[in-house]
Amino acid sequence: MMDVLQQATDALRAGKLLLYPTDTVWSIGCDVRNEEAVTRIHQLKNRNPPQPFTVLIAEIGQLHDYVQKVPDIAWDIVEFAEKPLTVVYAKGKNVAPGILAADGSIAIQLVKDEFCQKLIRKVGRGVVYTSANVAKQAKPFALADVDASIQEGVDYIVQVPNRPATTKKLLPTIFRLELNGQITFIRK
């Protein structure tokens, strides 16, 4: 696994696009600060900005890196979530503009997947997370489900040894968390 981890890390640091498995779906990722790579993902997915992407983090403390003001309740909600959870925060920072929504909000998920955690820690920052599908197509739960145009359009396909061919077939719960603690569900 170390060779795969190093190759994925090198690719991210070089501004490349990854196709990689997460704890939910197969995803396309890049360095969260690389605007050129973020633009390439929008093009590859046939998605027009400002359709935002999610930032995967490996540790809850990384929220400070990407959210201007973290609501107090966020720490407990995110840390103790049992299922994958994406939280949309009011104001993002330190990411390429193409990751943010038109209102400046940012979506962040604390990843549970061991490989993803190691990758994020090794890179030293969050990684873009967006399903590896062309806009309006089904989300891929296995590499075999990923459209050929996506596989050909990325720079590196992460294949972790001894990893199941299919992800857990879960989609994250998504909600918006306001500074006052108000929660609005986007997907349950």
Query: Taking the model in full, what pTM does it have?
Result: 0.94
Q: What pLDDT is stored for residue 180 in this prediction?
A: 94
> Residue 13: is its pLDDT beyond 80?
yes
**Region 164-181: what's the mean pLDDT?**
87
- The CATH architecture annotation of domain 2-187 reads Alpha-Beta Complex (3.90)
Give 142's DSSP letter: B
Q: Tell me, what's the pLDDT at 69?
A: 96
47-56, 107-116, 144-153: which range is least confident on average? 47-56
- Give the 3-state secondary structure of residue 43: helix
Helix 114-123 to helix 2-13 angle (10° resolution) is 50
Is the model's pLDDT at 50 over the cut of 90?
no
Return the pLDDT at 142: 93
Predicted pLDDT of residue 169: 77
Q: Which are the contacts of 111, defined by CB distance < 8 A and separation ≥ 6?
A: 22, 23, 56, 57, 58, 84, 117, 120, 129
Looking at residue 155, its pLDDT comes to 98
CB 99 within 8 A of CB 109: no
**22-46 burial, b for 16+ CB within 10 Å, e for fewer?**
bbbbbbbbbbbebeebbebbbebbe
Domain chopping of the chain, boundaries = 2-187
Per-residue HEC secondary structure of 57-107 comes to: ECCHHHHHHHECCCCCCHHHHHHCCCCCEEEEECCECCCCHHHCCCCCCEE
Average pLDDT over every residue of 42-64: 91
Give pLDDT, residue 49.
66
- Residue 97 near residue 32, CB atoms below 8 Å: no
Query: Per-residue pLDDT for 1 more than 60?
Result: no
Average pLDDT estimate for 8-16: 97
Q: Which two tokens stand for residue 117?
A: 């955690």
Residue 109 has pLDDT above 90, yes or no: yes
Report pLDDT for 164.
79
Provide φ and ψ at 8, rounded to 5°: -65, -40
Average pLDDT of the segment spanning 125-144: 93
Which residue reads 């986007």 in tokens?
Answer: 186
Residue with the larger pLDDT of the pair 1 and 5:
5
Q: Which tokens belong to 80? A: 């103790």
Instruction: Decide if 127 contacts 53 (C-beta within 8 A).
Output: no
Mean pLDDT of the region 72-76:
93
Where residue 47 falls among pLDDT bands split at 50, 70, 90? confident
* pLDDT for the residue 94: 98
Mean of pLDDT over the chain: 93
Give strand pairing partners of 130: 28
